[in-house]
Amino acid sequence: MSSVAPPGVRFHHGSAVVPAGAVHTTPLGYDRGSVPLGAPLPLTASAELVHRLSGCGEVVVAFEGKLGDTLLALTGVRAVLDWLRLRSVRTSVRAVGPYAGLIARTGLITQPPVTTPHGRRAVIGDRAGTEAHGSEAVVSLVLDPAAPPCWSSDGRAHPDLPARHYLALERRLGIRLPGTAPFAPTLATGPNDLVEELRSVGWLGGLTIAAITATSWPERKDYTAQRYIALTEQIAEAQQAQARLLLIGGSAEDGLRVSAEAPRRHVQVLHLDGVPGDQLADLFPHCDLIVGNDTGLTHLAAMTHSPERPVIGLYARHSHSKWRTGLPHHHAVATDLSDRMHQGDLCPVRDAIPSDVDVHMDAFPPAELARVCLDLLNGVRP
């Protein structure tokens, strides 16, 4: 299931199954594997929710908050749409807000039905999105990352947020839905001008590594450009190759900003700041490895990346299992504190759990992290 990396740090493979008895869970209330698709659950559905959704002709997907929370919550949208299809309720689905383009890549958005839908509307999203777009809705579903527990069924825990959201809605809607682990959707990708420009000048040839420096909490979660460069140098030297490192930064005040550093012995470094998520979604599949902190762009990379190419998240404080997509190529390197948050289904912020020591990104030495990356690049499970 996992293996020790540096002292006090543990590697967790994305395809590892977490036994229900190994972590703190809430029983789902039924053995999911034994309930036929579309069959009623041995739980009472939310009658009011079922009634209101059954009468809707339109579903509006509205997220206004953090990118990571949005991506990990899209399975809640999928659960509602799966239920509507099983119940033969015809609806149109549209996305609004800053992530509408990314959400459309999941295939969840449908064209309006042949007949014009009646005016009853359901809004699904985060609190800011439902407040902005739900004033005339007959029902608004808020997908709060703090709400769904770590479910367990059939001897298995479902700790990742996509699974939590999907199963929480399945229980409330009262019938066995078709989704199975991994529950997270993947995003369609394609060519774009940025990718073509980078390819034309040689930045996407050979060993290409993307590293996420963008974060809403830089003092806690920024691994720093210097550490990523040191990590890439270790990998390139071991591979006896020249590596290209794409440093993906946050939004630049002046919009998109691209700048190259002077070439090093083993690594060429390109800074990409302020790149829109839609363009990054098309860029990530061209990278051999992606390493990032626990942030939305790392989740985006996992949901748009080719399954055979690894994405590694670095988790110093928060649960490495909850804040992942659950996709088999999305791995984690986590501290002991992160592991304890995972085991107890805790949050250091929500549950006000101070760390015994200040745990930052320096918990992951580049030389040791490089060993994990090399194993994954070489097809060896660490």
Q: What is the 3-state secondary structure (H, E, C) of the chain?
A: CEEECCCCEEEECCCCCCEHHHCCCEECCCCHHHCCCCCECCCCCCHHHHHHHHCCCEEEEECCCCHHHHHHHHHHHHHHHHHHHHCCCCCEEEEECCCHHHHHCCCCCECCCCCCCCCCEEEEECHHHHHHHCCCCCEEEECCCCCCCCEEECCEEECCHHHHHHHHHHHHHCECCCCCCCCCCCCCCCCCHHHHHHHHCCCCCCEEEEEECCCCCHHHHCCCHHHHHHHHHHHHHHHCCCEEEEEECCCCCCCCEEEECCCCCCEEEEEEECCCHHHHHHHHHHCCEEEEECCHHHHHHHHHCCCCCCEEEEECCCCCCCCCCCCCCEEEEEEHHHHHHHHHCCCCCCCCCCCCCCCCHHHCCHHHHHHHHHHHHCCCCC
- As a residue count, the chain comes to 382
Q: Give the fold, CATH level 3, of 2-15+189-377.
A: Rossmann fold (3.40.50)
Tens digit of each residue's pLDDT (9 = 90 or more) over 201-258: 999 989 999 999 987 666 667 899 999 999 999 999 999 999 999 999 987 666 889 9
Instruction: Find the mean pLDDT for residues 264-280.
Output: 94
Q: Is a pLDDT exceeding 90 seen at residue 285?
A: yes
| CB contact set of 304 (below 8 Å; sequence gap of 6+) | 105, 186, 187, 189, 280, 281, 282, 284, 285
- pLDDT value, residue 106: 95
Q: What's the mean pLDDT in 42-48?
A: 97
What pLDDT sits at residue 3?
44
Of 233-242, 279-288, 353-362, minimum mean pLDDT range: 353-362
> Could you report the per-residue pLDDT of 145-203, keeping only the tens digit for each?
999 999 999 999 999 999 999 999 999 999 999 999 999 999 999 999 999 999 999 99
d(CA 282, CA 305): 9
Least reliable range by pLDDT among 32-36, 66-70, 237-241, 261-265:
261-265
Which of 304, 247, 298, 251 minimizes the C-alpha distance to 276? Answer: 251
Q: How confident is the model at residue 144 (pLDDT cuts 50, 70, 90)?
A: very high
- Give residue 353's pLDDT: 85
pTM of the model: 0.94
The lowest-confidence range among 33-47, 99-113, 127-141 is: 99-113
Residue 116 has a pLDDT of 46
| Torsion (CA) 280, 210, 328, 223 in degrees, nearest 10 | -110
> What mean pLDDT comes out for the span 106-111?
85
Distance CA(18)–CA(321), nearest Å, equals 9
Q: How far is it, in rounded angstroms, from Cα 228 to Cα 221?
A: 13
Residues 6+ apart with CB under 8 A from 352: none
**Average pLDDT, integer, range 344-349:** 93
Q: What is the pLDDT of residue 248?
A: 95
Average pLDDT of the chain, as a whole number: 92
Strands of the sheet with 58-62, listed across from one edge: 92-96, 58-62, 121-125, 139-142
Tokens describing residue 352 = 């006000």
Q: Where are the chain's structural domains?
A: 2-15+189-377, 31-173
pLDDT of 77 over the 70 cut = yes
Q: Which residues pair with 207 in a beta bridge?
A: 243
Residue 266 confidence (pLDDT): 93
Provide the pLDDT confidence category of residue 110 given band limits of 50, 70 and 90. Answer: confident
Reported as a single tens digit per residue, the pLDDT across 291-321 is 999 999 999 999 997 777 999 999 998 999 9
92-96 and 58-62 beta bridge pairing: parallel
Please give the average per-residue pLDDT across 264-292, as a whole number. Answer: 95
Q: Is the pLDDT of residue 324 over 60?
A: yes
Considering only CA atoms, which of 100, 8, 31 is closest in space to residue 335?
Answer: 8
